[in-house]
Chains A and B, each alone.
Chain A
């Protein structure tokens, strides 16, 4: 039996669990699992074991914390001081930040043990975990190795699902990178309101869209982690100053909106829809009320808007990687631009290159009005459309992904545009910066399948409370 996070912490406090032994045990598990599933880019064995010993000494001196001794994995794009942090890219090989990301500092202050950096699509550029960096291994679905565990927070979700230990993971979402792998791996993933969690220490994909969130085996685990990592941080100028606390509410009679365009989409697998409607009817019988609504703008324009903004920002964020100050270096030769080109050509993956080229194009003079600037304006309209829904409903609810975890051989057949359209269900909430949660609503052919609830800005309490109630029903 795997203990819930709060029970685990209580047992550590009571001296029933040894932090060192538990850490050793989960590190051994991670190493073993990694050989087959590739969930980690770095397993920080020495670091974690030393940290466990240090923590035990602190505990003897009276130290306590909400995550005392809890093993936490961190998506590779989030900086951990002294631990190689590569965002899944070869170009950052050897980069050991000299600072902790704010979220890392926060969980460490609560007594968490960082066990490793989890694998991801390079810089978060993917839906299936397949766009890993040069020389990285593709993470595999814990339920079927021939299938994707979703992306881009693939390793975080995969290991959260497979581990036999109490474990939570800090993940990150730009366009669905928490919800999608949560769905494919059958776990709970929380993506908070944009700005609720500090991005200081996050290796950026697209700054105006990136959100750090939490993953757990159950709603409670993810909720506890989410609560700890949230909060204003003066080192991130976009973080929100006055935040309502996140807590579990008693309310059950939520009103939910189901977007017609998504559940009627050609993309949607009928087996996923069946399980979804089953779930909705169960919710209805427990006091939820639902109505089908229309999100015409989001269903039509969110994907192009999202990708234009994301690639525009990403192409500037990735400019700094040129083998000059940190990360992968090459033999110095030629002029600086030859050298930069060499480093970038050799060490960035195909999708990263594609997004750099797309983004550079979208912000070129002559095109930026038609692409980048128009997308920025469209985003405002798309947010307004959601706001109108939230004036009448508590949540927008739909399947997290239109499909079950796909086989790698099928993914290879997608064109890039088909690939991007697989994000249709997760992108709207992400583009608008709205908080959402994905939890497992059941299995089809032994493959998990997630349901996603989206709430209005800063309504994480309602969101998590409803999810917690729903979790009990399913």
Chain B
């Protein structure tokens, strides 16, 4: 079967405080409240570059192992559209800030990055009655001028799941850099996909990285079916309907669109000095792979757990916080199995879940002290995430905290054993059945408020001792 060949163009907002070419805030509530003459494109206004956005863009390029262009500039991409305040977008064309990067997938496979550049986001269009039925549309310029980074890969991706893995890796790196906030920052993707030897199709504007795999899976299947039927795949631009989960034809691509690029004459050429680069490199945070390596060395956890923990920036932070108080291998197990399990099951980000390290530390301490069973601990975590009730409060309210010391349990087992005269003889015949019986009796005696593992351990010890 011929390979599927996929290249991605990823656009994501950079998490700066102010816009790319003016000092308007990137955070706003009411429509058209965070706007000025620059992001509205008023005659007479001039763009002024946001240094922070340049720093962020350059850091993304460095993190993706790109070459940095020592001199780069901005260009005007001209097209008429109501969301574009100036009817041109300030972007980068001939010389982007970074090129020739690499992202490694888990298999060791390389996905090459062709280029990375900065550009301004257009305004958002609001069709109050849906795009096909509204007789008018409203424009919100709050988004106009928010910095976007565009990351273009070479066609090195060979399956929709590889595309998802690539995007996951990319987002994690962006999160580590502090330029992207999962659950808040917007990610959009254009994908080029073809079956080797056949025409290429572009899917435009896929919102959210989860949809990318869905759209590509649909499109791969569609193209393969056409080929098997002996039909032609036409070179075209398709859209993605995220309700129907299908792609649809938007326009056939006879020629490239012509944006009439010129150098942006209101902005100077940006020169990246050695000092600036040094500074950026000094400021570069630890990236996922480095962090996983450190976790293995520092916390003596498995490679696998380290990788899982570090594949999610906020989880890796949570884990390190927990490790300050809790034994690291135990903490790793709880975070990767229980916490990540609950989050995945409920499709929540760590931030959305509201989980705080100090609550988890307290919970794990109770588990360590045998004051709560692991089963009840998991229950407490679920209630914590879903009902926002603190684990300790939940356990106390539900009377699930074990208040018996080992000595109390020991005494209880002795009482149970004393009440059953032939128990040691029976134990020799059917040890498992007797253990279960004594454990059950002891638990009843203690009204269930004891850690079954300890009861089991003491029952076993005392039965072994008594059978002599």
Contact = CB atoms under 8 A, between A and B. Distances in A.
B42 A325 contact: yes
A299 interface: no
Contacts of B44: 78-79, 85, 97, 99, 101, 200-203
B41 interface: yes
Interface stretch (A231-239, A285-293, A347-355): A231-239
B361 interface: no
Interface in A196-226: 199-204, 206-208
B323 interface: no
Given A360-B260, A364-B260, A320 B86 contact: yes
Contacts of B345: none
B85 A320 contact: yes
Interface residues of B, number: 31
Given A199-B46, A237-B46, A319-B78, A376 B263 contact: yes
Nearest to B79: A319
B265 A237 contact: no
A98 B261 contact: no
A312 B264 CA distance: 11
Interface in B66-81: 76, 78, 80-81
Nearest to B86: A320
Interface in B250-266: 256, 258, 260-263, 265-266
A320 B83 CA distance: 11
A320 B43 contact: yes
A95 B43 contact: yes
B245 interface: no
B88 interface: yes
A235 B265 contact: no
Interface string B34-47: 00010011111111
Contacts of B81: 336
A372 interface: yes
Given A99-B44, A326-B43, A337-B80, A363 B261 contact: yes
Interface in A160-210: 199-204, 206-208
Contacts of B170: none
B41 A200 contact: no
B48 A235 contact: yes
A18 interface: no
B81 to A, nearest CB: 7
A295 to B, nearest CB: 25
Contact of B41 (A320, A364, A368): A320
B354 interface: no
A78 B47 CA distance: 17
A322 interface: yes
State the majority secondary structure of interface residues on A: loop
A364 B88 CA distance: 14
Contacts of B87: 319-320, 322
Contacts of A51: none
Nearest to A195: B268
Contact of B267 (A237, A368, A376): A237
Contacts of A235: 46, 48
B49 interface: yes
Interface residues of A, number: 47
B466 interface: no
B271 to A, nearest CB: 13
A365 interface: yes
Contacts of A97: 37, 42-44
B262 A200 contact: no
A98 B43 contact: no
Contacts of B43: 79, 85, 87, 92, 95, 97, 203-204, 320-321, 326-327
A124 to B, nearest CB: 13
Contacts of A322: 80, 87
Interface in A297-324: 312-313, 315-316, 319-322, 324
B187 to A, nearest CB: 27
Given A199-B46, A316-B78, A365 B86 contact: no
Contacts of B78: 315-316, 319, 363
A340 interface: yes
A410 B262 CA distance: 36
B80 A319 contact: yes
B82 interface: yes
Contact of B266 (A201, A238, A315): A238
Given A319-B78, A337-B80, A200 B46 contact: yes
A243 to B, nearest CB: 16
Interface in B194-250: none
Contacts of A237: 46-49, 266-268
Nearest to A99: B37
Contacts of B268: 237-238
A340 B84 CA distance: 13
A208 B265 CA distance: 5
Given A97-B37, A97-B44, A99-B44, A363 B262 contact: yes
B82 to A, nearest CB: 5
B133 to A, nearest CB: 15
Interface string A119-134: 0000000000000000
Nearest to B41: A320
Contacts of B261: 363, 368
Contacts of B41: 320, 325
Interface in B36-64: 37, 40-49
A416 B90 CA distance: 32
Contacts of B48: 234-235, 237
Interface in A338-378: 340, 360, 363-365, 368, 372, 376
Nearest to B136: A332
A313 B266 CA distance: 10
24 contacts: A97-B42, A97-B43, A97-B44, A98-B37, A99-B37, A99-B45, A200-B46, A203-B44, A204-B43, A207-B266, A237-B47, A237-B49, A237-B267, A238-B265, A315-B260, A316-B88, A319-B87, A320-B86, A320-B88, A322-B87, A336-B80, A336-B81, A363-B262, A364-B258
Interface of B: 37, 40-49, 76, 78, 80-82, 85-88, 136, 256, 258, 260-263, 265-268
Given A85-B43, A200-B46, A319-B86, 18 more contacts: A97-B42, A97-B43, A99-B44, A199-B266, A204-B266, A207-B266, A235-B48, A237-B49, A237-B267, A238-B266, A320-B86, A320-B88, A325-B42, A336-B81, A360-B260, A365-B258, A365-B260, A368-B261
